[in-house]
Amino acid sequence: MSEAHLLATGFDDQLGFGDAEGPTSTRPGFLGTLRGHGAAIYALAISEEGWLASGARDDQVNLWNLSARAGASTLPSRPGLRLEGHKAGVTALAFAPKVLVSGSADNTTRIWELPSGRTLHVIAHPRTVFGVAIRPPEESSDGEFATACWDGVVRTFDLRTGSEKARFDLHQGGLYSVAYSPLDGSLLATASADRTVRIWDLRRMELLWTLRGHKDHVTSVDWSPTKPYTLASGSWDRRFRLWEIPTQEVEGCRSALACSSSLAPKWMARHPQLIWRVAFAPGGTQVATCHGAVGQSPTVVIYDAASGRVLRQLGRHKDTPLTIAWSPDGLYLASAGMDRKVLLYDSQHPDDDVSRGDLDSDEEKAQWLEDLEDYRSGARRDEINASLVASLAEKVGRLANSSGENQTLAESEGPWNPHPMSGWAAFH
């Protein structure tokens, strides 16, 4: 049974503002912090109306009214609505008109009615749903969304009824991310643990391209909102890639299925730690990524999409940022992750916001590992096996201190089945 808790005087523009952590004079461009989850945050989404949704390991979805900030000096002190119903961590979020779609480690996708918060549909999946995406409305008059599931299958559903429409199962590993092209909603991209990005034709119901080159799990994919056939991907191989499929290749592939199997990225950038998410800004000129692992180098990086030049680095998180989202108007950039906070930035500000550094203490590292094991198993904190945490810590330490050039996570020692939200491994 799901519940929606109204935490302010109303869901509309009546949300009050309090003493949420705001910007400081020494951090230009930083707008403040939203606090409302008691566990790591795995998913973010921002609606056209200015609502920010955050999903976390505490099984809840919080909705924050950012539109009311226009005439205020501080951010909301608490969420305006809290959605409860998932039985495990919330791992994916996407807004559509009057609804919110969420994916979870409880092996379900939920469609929530807004502003009531009522559950419209609960859709079962075989494994965790790590990605959800809404098809552009001009391509689907009735509404459609897609899910990226850890069983390796991408599925599409009718947004009104929750009924399945199609599925594609050619990946050889679990799925992390799914994205419709905003310029051609018949194109769907998926990112997988099999180290590939695949692009599907929803009109012909066929696979068009398989983008290869990543050396480890591909954790995120996103399309440019302004340049056709351009998309970005990020991976645990610590590489960010931007792909631009030539027009001639597109024409040959879509008309005669003469699709190249050896497409190369336009440019690539190396990161010091695992990449968790990539996201184009609404204007298409910038693309953001976030990286980090075990508290090391938790940073959001913003690139110039055309040249690959680093425009800005945001390092205020105290632990790994797992997700990022731009506001539809392009004015805000939000990030969240293992430190249980949502950080908001003025996306137009040019300055970096890189802290002095915050390497985890031994106690903080142990807490990080406990959070991961707690999320994976669903166990209470007092049930977590100390020897398991110690064993995981030893292996993580070796990997975190390696250069990453000669050994990838998928090739690392042990009977590991890597899990998206752990960042390293989970025992299944």
For the entire predicted model, the pTM comes to 0.82
| pLDDT score recorded for residue 16 | 28
- 187 in any annotated domain: yes
Among 314, 304, 306, 303, CA closest to 351: 314
Compare 123 and 389 and report the one with higher pLDDT. Answer: 123
Give, in order, the Cα–Cα distances in Å from 234 to each of 25, 29, 42: 33, 25, 16
401 pLDDT tier (thresholds 50, 70, 90): very low
Q: For residue 111, what are the contacts with CB-CB under 8 A and spacing of at least 6?
A: 99, 100, 101, 119, 120, 121, 123, 159, 162
Mean pLDDT of 34-56: 96
- 35 in any annotated domain: yes
pLDDT in tens, 272-293: 999 999 999 999 999 999 999 8
Tell me: pLDDT of 156 over 70.
yes
| pLDDT score recorded for residue 409 | 36
Q: Report the percentage of the chain scoring pLDDT > 90.
A: 68
| pLDDT score recorded for residue 296 | 79
Work out the mean pLDDT of the chain and round it to a whole number: 83
Per DSSP bridges, beta strands 206-211 and 218-223 are unpaired
Among 156, 172, 154, CA closest to 164: 156
178 token code pair: 């799914």
Mean pLDDT of 27-55: 94
- 386 in any annotated domain: no
Buried (b) or exposed (e) across 46-61, using 16+ Cβ within 10 A?
bbebbbbbbbbbbbbb
- 5 in any annotated domain: no
pLDDT in tens, 354-374: 865 455 566 656 665 666 565
Residue 371 burial by CB count (10 A; 0-12/13-18/19+): exposed, middle or buried?
Answer: buried
Tell me: pLDDT of 257 over 60.
yes
Contact 320, 334 (CB under 8 A): no
Among 233, 224, 249, 228, CA closest to 198: 233
Compare 310 and 7 and report the one with higher pLDDT. Answer: 310
Tell me: pLDDT of 218 over 50.
yes
CATH number for the domain harbouring residue 131: 2.130.10.10
- 1 in any annotated domain: no
- 23 in any annotated domain: no
Domain that includes residue 329, residue range: 30-244+257-357
* C-alpha span between 428 and 417 (Å, rounded): 7
Compare 399 and 111 and report the one with higher pLDDT. Answer: 111
| pLDDT score recorded for residue 354 | 81
* C-alpha span between 65 and 77 (Å, rounded): 10
| pLDDT score recorded for residue 265 | 97
pLDDT in tens, 163-193: 999 999 999 999 999 999 999 999 999 999 9
- CA 360 remoteness from chain centre: 23
Compare 337 and 15 and report the one with higher pLDDT. Answer: 337
* C-alpha span between 99 and 97 (Å, rounded): 6
Tell me: pLDDT of 26 over 80.
no
Q: How many domains does the chain have?
A: 1
| pLDDT score recorded for residue 364 | 59
- 303 in any annotated domain: yes
- 139 in any annotated domain: yes
Q: For residue 386, what are the contacts with CB-CB under 8 A and spacing of at least 6?
A: none
* C-alpha span between 382 and 371 (Å, rounded): 12
Mean pLDDT of 364-391: 55
Tell me: pLDDT of 18 over 70.
no
Compare 257 and 215 and report the one with higher pLDDT. Answer: 215
Q: Which residues pair with 315 in a beta bridge?
A: 354
Tell me: pLDDT of 391 over 60.
no
| pLDDT score recorded for residue 142 | 76
**Of the ranges 32-46, 363-377, 390-404, which one carries the lowest mean pLDDT score?**
390-404
